[in-house]
Structure 1
Amino acid sequence: MKTLIVVVFAVAAALWLLNTSLLVTPPSDTAKILAHRGIHQVFQQEGVENDTCTAQRIEPPRHAYLENTIASMQAAMDSGAEVVELDIHLTPDRQFAVFHDWTLDCRTDGKGVTEQTPMTTLKTLDIGYGYTADGGKTFPFRGRAQGQMPTLTEVFTALPHGRFLINFKSDRREEGATLAVLLRAHPEWRKSVFGVYGGSAPTQETLRLVPGLRGYDRQSTLACLGRYVAYGWTSIVPEACHNTLVVVPANYAPFLWGWPDRFAARMKDAGSEVILLGRYGGGDFTSGIDSADDLTLVPKNFAGYVWTNRAETISPLLGKRMAATNSQANRE
């Protein structure tokens, strides 16, 4: 019995020593904001399904920005976002339309499938047409966003100092190949692409064709996190977690070996960046750190990217918290 106790104690001590953050030098960098869809009109996420028209359930507007527009991306960067997430569709005239929805019927005055509609037609649409916060009594953005759906080329040109996480909305491999061709033709835009994600086929095709680019899809994320949970306690980082973007739901983060500082150090040594999401509840990986309450889920020394739907709120709150932490450290 005594031998068993000693063995258990030794194993527990070894696990602690291998995975405690107390023995790791805290990162010198600070947390960075990743603005999902730029600054945009937010909505209640309870009960949202794939076919829910979220433009019809927005909260009362507090600003005039619409998602995936150049103005919303600029506003996100002005608020402190280091990376802006955007959504793309490859149209029949070989342009990348920057727009979230698979179809046009919810947000715009158009009809049909986004990727099946020429960019010349998409440019005529009012992308604020369908937004309402009161069940259709009023439409506060109708008539104010005619022709504001940008192409990816226009985004890169208008915001040359921006960095973007590109979401492939389809699973067409040709989207990845076309993006790779675009970046090859304009090497100056390569630095603008922080990473890619979304549909597995275009994501993996882009990563194959663009050396050094990071990205992820659902399968690669589950492979990375699942294998790390299985044997990350050994300090071995699975190959699936190397040279990639590691997205971590905040409510699962405490179950990762060495979270936060030891985990972050391992991912950095593996050439990867960590993106902290909001709580994962079984839907897609897009819930964000969107309130002061959510901000408590971000570790004090976290130096990765904080995914948020409210960059205009979270960026200043995060700044104040970091300033308070630095002030306390200076006093000590």
Structure 2
Amino acid sequence: MRKKLRYSIAAIAVFAAAVYLNNTNLLASHREGKPVLLAHRGIAQRFDERDLTNDTCTAARMLPPKHDYLENTILSMRAGFDLGADIVEVDVHPTTDGEFAIFHDWMLDCRTNGHGVTREHSMVEMKALDIGYGYTADGGKTFPFRGAGIGQMPTLAEVLQTFPDRRLLINVKSRDPLEGEKLAAVLNALPGEHRELIMVYGGDEPIQTIRRLAPDIKTASRASLKACLLAYIGYGWTGILPQACKNTMMLVPVNIAPWLWGWPDRFLNRMEAGNSVVFALGPYRGGDFSTGIDTPELLAKLPADYSRGIWTNDIEATGKLREN
């Protein structure tokens, strides 16, 4: 009996040592350099983020503006890159005349002087809209951007042409697989070196379609993020990277990261070996992954020498923090 107990204790000790050695960062290589910054919506007007729902009109909750840029415009994207963004995120909607409009909202009514579902309009119609029409920081007393946003809604084609050598993250706002087909056709028409700069995330159905039709494009959806995280937490201690974690974009909240086997360097090296990229987010508290690394306090939750991806909603502030 005692002999069996000793064998069991020895086996447990050997197993624990193997898990430790396979996941300790003491034996992991570390990539030097500065973090890779992903600017959510380029440089945008900030808004009160408390108690948001899918129906919240964020333009009506704008904080006092610190700059004149409107999100998802060529000007805001260029400013985002100039302020230190390595990647800029844009939102797309298909239009009735075969284009993709760069615009965040499902409906036009909040931000613009238009009405109705965004994807039910032509690009010709939306080019005539004022995308700064609905912004107010004082409950509707003043609208500082009215008139400034006329004609500023770009097409995806214009963005790709303007930034052929810059990295972009495209957000598909729908769950329509046909939108995935249309976007895959646009991306597959690009030169290979341009496609390497593009990532796509969004609804499960269009992302599954893009993964099938444009398999070289890195993608992410709620389903793929969940599948990767659960599989990695389940058996990532072995050093084996789950298939769900390969050729993908992974979003990791800072309060979840320490629970990942081998965080930071072992985990990040494994993801990189699987042709995947990782971006750290702010804390996950349920709902959508929209909180960015936007303050010194959140940046401090990452390793001091962290050199992989960071998702930020405030590229102006985070770009300065990276340089310090």
TM superposition shift of 1:7: 4.6
Residue 272 of structure 1 is matched in structure 2 by 276
Question: Is the CA contact 1:167–1:198 (under 8 Å) kept in the aligned structure 2?
Answer: yes
How many angstroms apart in 2 are the aligned matches of 1:78 and 1:292?
Answer: 21
1:226-245 paired onto structure 2 within 5 Å: 226-245=230-249
Residue 131 of structure 1 is matched in structure 2 by 135
Residue 306 of structure 2 is matched in structure 1 by 302
Q: Percent identity?
A: 51
* 1:276-329 Cα shifts (integer Å, max 9, x gaps): 111111011121001111111222232321000011110121121xxxxxxxxx
Residue 124 of structure 2 is matched in structure 1 by 120
> Counterpart of 2:39 in 1: which secondary structure?
strand
How many angstroms apart in 2 are the aligned matches of 1:163 and 1:263?
Answer: 23
> Counterpart of 1:142 in 2: which secondary structure?
coil
* 1:154-197 Cα shifts (integer Å, max 9, x gaps): 11122222211001011111212112222333437833742111
Which of the residues 292, 295, 298 maps onto 2:296? 292
- Aligned residue-pair number: 320
How many angstroms apart in 2 are the aligned matches of 1:68 and 1:110?
Answer: 17
Which of the residues 225, 228, 242 maps onto 1:224? 228
The answer to which of 278-287 and 87-96 deviates more is 278-287
Normalising by the residue count of structure 1, what TM-score does the alignment of the two structures yield? 0.92
How many angstroms apart in 2 are the aligned matches of 1:159 and 1:312?
Answer: 20
TM superposition shift of 1:207: 2.0
Normalising by the residue count of structure 2, what TM-score does the alignment of the two structures yield? 0.94
* 1:63-106 Cα shifts (integer Å, max 9, x gaps): 11111011010001001111101100001111100000000110
1:150-299 paired onto structure 2 within 5 Å: 150-187=154-191, 190-191=194-195, 193-299=197-303
1:3-82 paired onto structure 2 within 5 Å: 3=6, 6-82=10-86
> Counterpart of 2:255 in 1: which secondary structure?
coil
Extract unaligned runs of 5+ from structure 2. none
Q: Which amino acid aligns with 1:180?
A: A
Residue 324 of structure 1 is matched in structure 2 by none
How many angstroms apart in 2 are the aligned matches of 1:232 and 1:188?
Answer: 32
TM superposition shift of 1:9: 3.9
Which of the residues 86, 89, 92 maps onto 1:85? 89
1:146 aligns with 2:150: yes
Q: Which amino acid aligns with 2:286?
A: G
Question: Is the CA contact 1:104–1:110 (under 8 Å) kept in the aligned structure 2?
Answer: yes
How many angstroms apart in 1 are the aligned matches of 2:274 and 2:190?
Answer: 29
- Over the aligned positions, Cα root-mean-square deviation in angstroms equals 1.7
Question: Is the CA contact 2:46–2:62 (under 8 Å) kept in the aligned structure 1?
Answer: yes
TM superposition shift of 1:124: 0.7
Q: Which amino acid aligns with 1:223?
A: A
How many angstroms apart in 1 are the aligned matches of 2:184 and 2:60?
Answer: 35
How many angstroms apart in 2 are the aligned matches of 1:100 and 1:268?
Answer: 30
How many angstroms apart in 2 are the aligned matches of 1:260 and 1:8?
Answer: 25
How many angstroms apart in 1 are the aligned matches of 2:196 and 2:233?
Answer: 32
How many angstroms apart in 2 are the aligned matches of 1:246 and 1:132?
Answer: 34
Q: 1:178 to 1:193 in 2, by over 3 A?
A: farther
> Counterpart of 1:22 in 2: which secondary structure?
helix
Q: Which amino acid aligns with 1:317?
A: L
How many angstroms apart in 2 are the aligned matches of 1:61 and 1:116?
Answer: 31
Q: Which amino acid aligns with 2:173?
A: K
Residue 330 of structure 1 is matched in structure 2 by none
> Counterpart of 1:135 in 2: which secondary structure?
coil
TM superposition shift of 1:30: 3.1
Q: 1:280 to 1:15 in 2, by over 3 A?
A: same
Residue 97 of structure 1 is matched in structure 2 by 101
The answer to which of 66-75 and 183-192 deviates more is 183-192
> Counterpart of 2:205 in 1: which secondary structure?
helix
* 1:188-239 Cα shifts (integer Å, max 9, x gaps): 7833742111012221212222241110110011000001001111111111
TM superposition shift of 1:22: 1.4
